[in-house]
Amino acid sequence: MEERVWLRDVGPRDGLQNERVAVATELKVELVERLMDAGVVSIEVSSFVHPRWIPQLADADEVFARIRRRPGVELSALVPNERGLDRAIAAKVDAVHVFMSASESHNRKNINKSIAETYPVLRPVVQGAKAEGLVVRGYVSTVFGCPYEGDVPVSQVLSVVERLFELGIDEVALGDTIGVAVPSQVASVVREVERIVPLDRVSLHFHDTRGMAIANIYAGWLAGVRRFDGSIGGLGGCPYAPGASGNVAFEDVLYLFEKMGVETGVDPVRYMDVVAWLEGVIGKPLASHARQVARGACEA
**Residue 122 contacts which entry, Mg ion, ligand HMG, none (Cβ below 5-8 A, type-dependent):** none
Catalytic residues: 238
The continuous run of DSSP H or E covering 175 comes out as strand 171-176
Pick between residue 241 and residue 266 the one whose CB is nearest to ligand HMG. Answer: 241
Q: Using the rule CB under 6 A, is 179 a contact of ligand HMG?
A: no
Q: List CB contacts of 80: < 8 A, sequence separation 6 or more.
A: 48, 49, 50, 98, 99, 111, 121, 125
Q: Using the rule CB under 5 A, is 14 a contact of Mg ion?
A: yes
The answer to whether 254 and 294 are in contact (CB under 8 A) is: no
The residue within the footprint of ligand HMG, chosen from 64, 139, 255, 257 (CB under 6 A), is 139
Q: Using the rule CB under 6 A, is 54 a contact of ligand HMG?
A: yes
Binding segment toward ligand HMG, per CB under 6 A, in 29-37, 48-56, 219-227, 271-279: 48-56
The residue within the footprint of ligand HMG, chosen from 8, 11, 29, 47 (CB under 6 A), is 47
Q: Using the rule CB under 6 A, is 138 a contact of ligand HMG?
A: no
Residue 269 φ then ψ, to 5°: -70, -45
Q: Using the rule CB under 6 A, is 48 a contact of ligand HMG?
A: yes
The amino acid at residue 164 is L
Measured at the alpha carbon of residue 56, what is the angle toward residues 43 and 205, in degrees to the nearest 5? 40
Which residues of this chain interact with ligand HMG, rule CB under 6 A?
Answer: 14, 17, 47-50, 53-54, 78, 80-81, 83-84, 99, 110-112, 139, 141, 175, 177, 205, 207, 238, 240
